[in-house]
Amino acid sequence: MGALFLVTEVAAIGGLALYRPALHDTGYVLGPGADTRVFLGALCEFVLALAVTGTGAVLYPVLRRRNEGAALGYVCGRLLEAAVIVVGIISVLSVVTLRQQAEGAAGADDASLVAAAKALVAFHDWTFLFGPNFVLGANTLLLAALMYTSRLVPRSIAMLGLVGGALICASATAVLFGVYEQVSVIGSLAALPVFAWEVTLAVRLLVKGFDEGIGDLVRADAE
């Protein structure tokens, strides 16, 4: 679980860094393009979707011993988050296909081409807001609450998750109503607590695991 959480962080940052500059540049659609960069960014987000799904699957046997309904809700929430991410990936790859087809077409309407590409990029931006922001925030709140009540990890770590989940949901709401841009200084600062929560939790699990006694619960459940 710790390794999967670290993978989600690396993949999310990698995807954003790789293809966001290319897709928000009109020259990408009309020029030779940076298809390899966009493909690598899409691959990073696909890895992100797989890792997000994996965290829910790996945690379920542990969490169900504490609260089966909440554990199932967390799995479903992670699946929803991954599904939204995959939909966003498809919209990005559609921009590449559009650019490649228009590149070999004589007399292509540049204005129409740019408008279509911008629509697909906007679609991806909205999936990025609702997946790795709204749904992630809800999932973080649910998991942190379970960790807090069950004491599987120190409560200080769980509190960081509760603060991070609430803050990223509030930030996503502000972006939704146009208070500030999603990729901005304020947006990045609002995402820092949930980033710190996932990294801290991952390191804790890799170094020590859950608090003593959880192993017995898992073994008893398997038997």
Q: Which domain holds residue 152?
A: 2-222
Counted residue by residue, the chain has a size of: 223
What is the rounded CA–CA span in Å between residue 149 and residue 93? 42
Q: How confident is the model at residue 110 (pLDDT cuts 50, 70, 90)?
A: confident
Query: Which has the higher per-residue pLDDT, 181 or 24?
Result: 181
Tokens (6 digits) for 70: 């909440």
SS (H, E, C) 114-132: HHHHHHHHHHHHHHHHHHH
Is the pLDDT reported for residue 109 higher than 70? no
Is the pLDDT reported for residue 16 higher than 80? yes
The backbone torsions φ and ψ at residue 62, rounded to the nearest 5 degrees and listed phi first, read: -80, -50
Kindly report the pTM of this predicted structure.
0.87
Q: How many domains does the chain have?
A: 1
User: DSSP secondary structure string, 50-90?
Assistant: HHHHHHHHHHHHHHTTT-HHHHHHHHHHHHHHHHHHHHHHH
Q: What is the pLDDT of residue 32?
A: 67
Mean pLDDT lowest for which of 80-94, 136-150, 161-175, 203-217?
203-217
